[in-house]
Homo-oligomer: A and B are copies of this chain.
Amino acid sequence: MKPLDELKARLLEVDDINGAAALLRWDQTTFMPPGGSPARGRQTATLSRLAHEKFTDAAVGRLLDQLERETAALPPGHDDAALVRVTRRLYEQSVRIPGALVSEFNEHAATIYQAWTVARPANDFATMRPLLEKTLELSRRQANCFPGYDSIADPLIDLYDYGMKAASVQALFTALRARLVPIVRAITSRAPADGACLEQYAPADQQLAFGLEVIRAYGFDFERGRQDLTHHPFMTKFSLGDIRITTRVRENDLTDALFSTLHECGHALYEQGIRTEFEGTPLAGGTSSGIHESQSRLWENLVGRSRGFWEHFYPRLQGAFPSQLGKVELDTFYRAINKVERSLIRVDADEVTYNLHVMLRFDLELDLLEGRLAVKDLARVWRERFEADFGIPVPDDRNGVLQDVHWYSGPIGGVFQGYTLGNVMSAQFHDAAVAAHPGIPAQITKGEFGTLRGWLRENLYQHGMKITAAEAIRGATGSDMSIEPYMNYLWRKYQPLYGLEERERTALGVS
| Most B CB within 10 A of own CB, among A20, A21, A50 | A20
**Interface SS of chain A: helix, strand, loop or mixed?**
helix
A39 on interface, CB distance cutoff 8 Å: yes
Query: Nearest chain-B residue to A16 (Cβ)?
Result: B46
Residues of B with C-beta under 8 A to A27: 23, 27
Contact A21 B19 (CB under 8 A): no
Closest CB in chain B relative to A464 CB, distance in Å? 16
CB distance from A155 to the nearest CB of B (A): 28
A17 at the interface (CB under 8 A from B): yes
User: Which B residues touch A239, using CB under 8 A?
Assistant: 35-36, 38-40, 43
Q: Considering the complex, give the chain B residue whose CB is closest to the CB of A238.
A: B36
Q: Could you tell me which A residues sit within 8 Å of B by CB distance?
A: 12-13, 16-17, 19-21, 23-24, 27, 31-40, 42-43, 45-47, 50, 221-226, 228, 238-242, 244, 279-280
Cα–Cα, bound, A244→B35 (Å): 11
A33: B residues at CB distance < 8 A = 222-226, 241-242, 244
Asked if B23 and A46 sit within 8 Å, CB to CB, the answer is no
Decide: B20 and A242 in contact? CB cutoff 8 A.
no
Number of this chain's copies in the complex: 2
Shortest distance between the CB of A22 and any CB in chain B (Å): 10
B279 touches A242 (CB 8 A): no
A24 vs B27: C-alpha distance in the bound complex, in angstroms? 10
**Most B C-beta atoms less than 10 A away, residue of A13, A23, A50, A240:** A23
| Set of chain B residues within 8 Å of A45, measured between Cβ atoms | 16
Whether the pair A35, B223 counts as a contact (CB closer than 8 A) is: yes
Do A13 and B46 touch (CB < 8 A)?
A: yes
Q: What is the CB-to-nearest-CB distance from A356 to chain B, in angstroms, rounded to a whole number?
A: 38
Contact residues in B for A20 (Cβ distance below 8 Å):
20-21, 23-24, 43, 46-47
Are the CB atoms of B238 and A40 closer together than 8 Å? yes
* CA of A261 to CA of B215, assembled, Å: 35
Chain B residues closer than 8 Å to A225, beta-carbon distance: 33, 35
Residues of B within 8 A of A34 (CB): 223-224
Could you tell me the distance between the alpha carbons of A45 and B33 in the complex, rounded to whole angstroms? 26
- Min CB distance A247 to B, Å, is 15
Could you say which of B40, B46, B228, B279 contacts A17, with CB atoms under 8 Å apart? B46
Complex-state Cα separation, A228 to B228, whole angstroms:
13
**What 11 new A-B contacts, CB under 8 Å, besides A17-B46, A35-B241?**
A17-B43, A19-B39, A20-B43, A20-B47, A32-B242, A33-B225, A34-B223, A35-B223, A35-B224, A39-B240, A43-B238
Q: Are A39 and B226 in contact (CB under 8 A)?
A: no
A205 smallest CB distance to B (angstroms): 11
Known: A13-B46, A31-B228. A241 touches B19 (CB 8 A): no
Residues of B within 8 A of A42 (CB): 12, 16
A399 to chain B, nearest CB (A): 29
State whether A43 touches B19 (Cβ < 8 A): yes
A240 to B43, CA, bound (A): 13
Which residues of chain B have C-beta atoms less than 8 A from A241's C-beta?
33, 35-39
- Find chain B residues with CB under 8 A from A17 CB: 43, 46-47, 50
Most B-side CB within 10 Å, residue of A35, A45, A223: A35
Contact B21 A238 (CB under 8 A): no
Please, how many angstroms separate the alpha-carbon atoms of A280 and B46 in the complex?
A: 13
Most chain-B CB neighbours within 10 Å: which of A24, A43, A241?
A43
- CB neighbours (8 Å) of A47 from chain B are 16-17, 20
